[in-house]
Amino acid sequence: MDGILLGAVVALSVIGTLLVWSSTRNWNSAEPTALAKKHVLNLCVGLALYSAVAVSDYRVLRRYAPLMYGIVTVGLLLVLTPMGATINGHRSWITIGGGFAVQPDEVAKPVLVLLLAMLLARAGDKKKDRPRYLYVALCLAVWGGTAVLVMMEPDLGTTTVLTAITGGMIVYAGVHKRLIAAGVVLAAAGAAAVWFLGLLKPYQVARFTALMDPSTDPRGIGYNSRQALIAIGSGELFGKGLFHGGQTTGRFVPEQHTDFIFTVAGEELGFVGAAVVVLLLGVVLLRCLRIARLCEDRFAALVAGGIVTWMGFQTLVNVGMTIGIMPITGVPLPFVSYGGTATFSNMMAVGVLQAIHIKDRVFG
């Protein structure tokens, strides 16, 4: 087991809990810790799932990947039926009673990693260095099925994460450079088509234009971007102290406990705290890559690469949008943001990597 990885994850979880607490303590003056407590409960469930996965044989996951993909697809379909619930404009939730709801698109991320790894692990050449093209095509089909359903919620953020995972894993699997170049050109052309054919919703376009010039829409998307920057900037070197962020308390930044939680870190913990969060995430990513480097199994390495792409991409987009270098996109910050399903997925993903690490030591 990788202790440093687990330590970094626990540290991020502790910081995340404090930030969730700070940003939600004014919601309900009778119960200032209500959401923080719920977050701790999520973390406990997540840690239990992590432990269960970590001690199991990861090759079992490989076998059940298609089944899991099927379940997730049903879940994503159910979201679109009356069973789905809409929160903040995204129809991403299925309510399961008792005040709980699951978010199938969060589960889709690790499941996609597993299924793609399974498909791409089958080498197609003699040196066992390149995937079989049929399977690459299959991968694209798998990605397409999920991406279309997620886009229908609509959740552009999660779609881009899924796209990054798929693109990354196909590249890691060893496809020819010419194919990568073709893929990049195709993706660029596709993006251009989407842009110029007006397939994006106006608010999505606005997010990009607001990134270029936040003053274009000071009360809308530009407002969020600007308020986030003000909150983080005003934290200066050492921050205003936990629970003392005026911008946070005033709720000038939206979604502070989920997508914009990094602004709370920036304002209340300052550069020092924010940098620690970024560095801890760096530690998690690099430890995951170390596990990939050390393992002998192609499937396991691909899984590790997929997970790093997933979490690295989310870190870049999430932190980047709060400091004005990325468009505003709704993706959570791994291990820090509030959100039950996301927490479970992240924890299980780390569990898978620990399982790989343990297995390779034991069996390898």
Partner 1 sequence: MTRLRGRLLVLQVLVIAMIVVLVVRLWQVQVMQGERFGTVATETRTREVRVPALRGSILDSSGHPLVRNRTSLVVSVDRGRLERMHDGGAAVLRRLSTVLGVPYDELKQQIRACGPGISRPCWPGSPYTPIPVAEHVKTRQALQILERQEDFPGVTAEIQSRRDYPHGKEAAALLGYLQPVTEQELERREGLKASFSGVDLVGQGGLEAIYDAAMRGKPGLRRVQVDRMGKVIKIDQQANPVPGDILVTSIDQRVQSIVEKSLDQAMKETPKSNGAAAVVLDVKTGRVVAMASRPTYDPSIWVGGIKEKDYRWLLSDKSGKPLVSRAINGTYAPGSTFKISSVSAMIANGSPLNGSYECPSSFTAAGQTYANAGGMSLGSISLHTALEKSCDTVFYKAGFEQWKADGGLKPKGTPKEPMTHMAKAYGFGRRTGIDLPGESPGLVPGRQWKKDLWASMKDTMCRRAKTGYPEMKDQAKAAYAKRLAHENCVEGNIWHAYEAINFSIGQGALLVTPLQLARAYAALVGDGNVRSPRIGWALVRPDGTLVKEIPVPVEGHLPISDHARDYIRKALAQVPVTGTAAAVFRGFDFNVVKVGGKTGTAEVYGKDDTSWFASFAPADNPRFVAVVMVAQGGWGASTAAPAVRRIWEGIYGVGKGDDGKPIKPALPGGNPPARLPVIRDGVAVQ
Q: Cα separation of 25 and 19, whole Å?
A: 10
- DSSP classification of residue 214: G
Stretch that binds partner 1, among 17-25, 81-89, 293-301, 337-345 (CB under 8 A): 293-301
Sheet with strand 84-87: strands edge to edge? 84-87, 90-95, 101-102
Dihedrals φ, ψ of 101, to 5°? -145, 145
Secondary structure of 4-17 in HEC code, one letter for each residue: HHHHHHHHHHHHHH
247 backbone dihedrals φ, ψ, rounded to 5°: -65, -35
Which residues in the 314-343 window bind partner 1 by CB under 8 A?
315-316, 319-320, 323-325
For partner 1, the closer of residues 46 and 245 by Cβ is 245
Per-residue b or e along 322-335, where b marks 16 or more CB atoms closer than 10 Å to that residue's CB: bbbebbbbbbbbbb
Among residues 91, 149, 148, 164, the alpha carbon closest in space to that of 318 is found at 164
Query: Is 334 in a helix, a strand, or coil?
Result: coil
Name the token pair of 78.
């159910």
Check residue 182 for interaction with partner 1 (CB under 8 A). no
Binding mask 43-72 for partner 1 (x = CB under 8 A): ------------------------------
Residue 301 and residue 36 in contact, taking contact as beta carbons nearer than 8 Å = no
* Smaller CB separation from partner 1, 292 or 347: 292
Question: Between residues 113 and 274, which has the closer beta carbon with respect to partner 1?
Answer: 274
The one among 136, 274, 303, 321 contacting partner 1 by CB under 8 A? 274
DSSP run (H or E) holding 93: strand 90-95
- Residue (69 or 313) nearer to partner 1, CB: 313
Q: What's the first-to-final CA gap in the chain, in angstroms?
A: 14
Question: Residue 1, interface with partner 1 (CB under 8 A)?
Answer: no
Give the nearest distance from C-beta 197 to partner 1 in angstroms.
25
Stretch 120-139: interaction string toward partner 1, x if CB under 8 A = --------xxx---------
Among 93, 252, 310, 344, binds partner 1 (CB under 8 A): 252
Alpha carbons 165 and 113: distance in angstroms, whole number: 7
Rule CB under 8 A: choose which of 40, 242, 289, 358 binds partner 1: 289
Min CB(300)–partner 1 separation in Å? 10
Question: Helix, strand, or coil here: 240?
Answer: coil
Nearest-approach distance from CB 247 to partner 1, in angstroms: 5
Ramachandran class of 88: left when φ > 0, alpha when ψ lies in -120 to 50, beta otherwise: left
- Which residue is it, tokens 């359903």? 149
Residues that bind partner 1 (rule: CB under 8 A) add up to a total of: 58
3-state class of 174 per DSSP? coil
- Does the footprint of partner 1 cover residue 14 (CB under 8 A)? no
Annotate each residue in 207-236 with x if it binds partner 1 (CB under 8 A) or - if it does not, as one string. Answer: -----------xxx------x-xxxxxxxx
Taking the least distance from each CB to partner 1, the nearer of 213 and 296 is 296
Six-digit token pair at 248? Answer: 């946070």
Q: Helix 261-294 crosses helix 298-322 at what angle (to 10 degrees)? A: 160
Minimum separation from the CB atom of position 119 to partner 1 (A): 14
> Is the CB of 4 or the CB of 52 nearer to partner 1?
4
- 168 touches partner 1 (CB under 8 A): yes
Measured from the CB atom, the residue of 150 and 284 that comes closer to partner 1 is: 284
Instruction: Considering only the stretches 66-74, 146-154, 294-302, 345-353, report the one whose residues sit in contact with partner 1 under the rule CB under 8 A.
Output: 294-302
Applying CB under 8 A, which residues contact partner 1?
A: 26, 128-130, 168, 171-174, 218-220, 227, 229-237, 246-247, 249-252, 266, 270-271, 274-275, 278-279, 281-282, 285-286, 289, 292-293, 296, 298, 301-302, 304-305, 308-309, 312, 315-316, 319-320, 323-325
